[in-house]
Chain A
Amino acid sequence: MTQERRAQLSPIAQLGDAALRLVGDTGAMFLFLLESFGRIFRSWGQFPKTVRQIYFIGVKSISVITLISLFTGMVIGLQMYYALAKFGADGFLGAAVSLSLVRELGPVLTAIMITGRAGSSMTAEIGVMRISEQVDALRVMDINPIGYLVSPKLAASIICFPILTAFFDLVGIVGGYLTGVLLLGGNSGVYWYRVSAYLKMNDISGGFIKSLVFGVVVCTVCCYMGYYTHTRRDAVGPEGVSQATTAGVVTSCVLILLADYVLTSLLF
């Protein structure tokens, strides 16, 4: 439908048009995910590409994850200590910090940080390849562009998101210890005892499942936005890539929070 035709539509028809596009995009994104997942295991040639992506998505994110998780843990430790001390329950600081990190904040904040750092570059990279005919070049060389470009990123995301989340949780708990125990004078032994006593396997596996889902969501959305940059209606060329990158990051963040709510209600 042309821009002029859309402008002529009544608001209700425009709403219907948007709803149809949303349903269409969701279906297309799901098929895109299925194809990219299926092509992970196509050949051994995917292995070196996946290793490169693990380095890019995982190893290069460690510094930013360390920084964010340390300060997140420190803020939680600070806030929780004051709140718990009012009820004489400051000994439960370790449990409060670890549970909030492992069940909620760890997976969500890690996913959002990786979206900002690696997700945006996935969209931009594939988008630039699309507008400079590199994706077409892959197709005419009979190399499936989804298998070549997206599948290694998906495999790397599935591997990296849970590991980085675990790392976030660990550093965050140490951050809570720094403020709650070393700065505000809480009991060190009690802190670590409460962490190990209250943190159950169910909490850890729940956080693990969340991070897996977030990894798949972020990679699929960001790669999809880049792959279909050329079909965008709002902008073309380099501007289209920038719009696709913004859309990829925003959609991923919204879906992370949405999926977090659904998963929390299902898992815990």
Chain B
Amino acid sequence: MTQQTTPDISLEGLTIGYGETVVVRGIDAVLPGGKISVILGGSGCGKSTLLKHILRLHPALAGRIVIGGHDMAKLDRRGMHCLRQRMGVLFQDGALLGSLTLGDNVALPLREHTRLSEKDVRERVLAKLGLVGLADFHDYFPNELSGGMRKRAGLARAMVMDPPLLFCDEPTSGLDPVTAAELDQLLLELKRRSDMTLVVVSHDLDSMRTIADHVLVLGDGRVLFQGGLAELEATQDEYLRRFLDRQALARTTPRLTMPPLDFKLMKRDCSGYLDEQQS
């Protein structure tokens, strides 16, 4: 396989889904190399499904996925082996192995695919954990950490082999605004330093506005938009405007008429008991 440092990802007539269920049909898009592409869309529109298809965790129902000039469907086992060693993936919940400590989780690809000494592995792991602010949590198990910390550790693991391709599934969801902003800066820094191709699945508009060079918007079972961030911001498409502009969304969304609330739905009324406890 030729060593293209910043591979493009081309999706050609791609239809994705599970079994007989089609999630998104007819995707024709290029996620440019050396840039941050954000796949945007509402919940359940198929963003994560698209990512899993790009990673060949699920077979495409139709069409092709071409990474760095290589058709994913035509790659044999060795080809996939070569390609996957050039990818880093952050899953939605981190997907850390529960039986390993954070350090061992991050070290796993190094121990499996390199001949580095344990000392070098540890140094590298600590450096990557340091990048995401978790160097002091090297010996913790994933269940001892918060969801946000697990996600950051997942990012450290995805970066540990310095892959030219980095995929992140909702990296900022569930993080506080400060940590989310730090993570955005980290992704920007990664792109600046290593000319990496990053594909980020997100519905966080602030994050998208900070990091995106290229945006792909999914919705209604198809691609609604693809292009640069400025182009997206200037769009007059009603759906996209509603998606991008929360204030416009609040203005145009009809007010919900709610039925009166009933606080006495419980089988037993405990309010008397609580008053008794207070006195």
Contact = CB atoms under 8 A, between A and B. Distances in A.
Given A2-B20, A136-B57, A136-B95, A45 B112 contact: yes
A130 to B, nearest CB: 11
Contacts of A234: none
B179 interface: no
A140 B89 contact: yes
Contacts of B87: 140
Contacts of B264: none
B91 A141 contact: no
A139 B56 CA distance: 10
A164 B156 CA distance: 42
Nearest to B90: A137
B81 interface: yes
A188 B93 CA distance: 64
A134 interface: yes
Contacts of B109: 141-143
B97 interface: yes
A141 B113 CA distance: 9
A132 interface: yes
10 tightest A-B CB contacts, nearest first: A137-B95, A142-B84, A133-B95, A140-B89, A133-B91, A141-B109, A143-B112, A134-B95, A136-B57, A142-B85
Interface of B: 20, 52, 55, 57, 80-81, 84-85, 87, 89, 91-93, 95-98, 108-109, 111-113, 157
24 contacts: A2-B20, A45-B112, A129-B97, A129-B98, A132-B95, A132-B98, A133-B91, A134-B95, A134-B96, A134-B98, A136-B57, A136-B91, A137-B95, A137-B96, A137-B97, A139-B57, A140-B89, A141-B84, A141-B89, A142-B84, A142-B109, A142-B112, A143-B108, A143-B112
Given A136-B95, A143-B109, 8 more contacts: A45-B112, A129-B97, A129-B98, A132-B95, A136-B52, A139-B84, A140-B84, A142-B80
Interface of A: 2, 45, 128-129, 132-134, 136-143
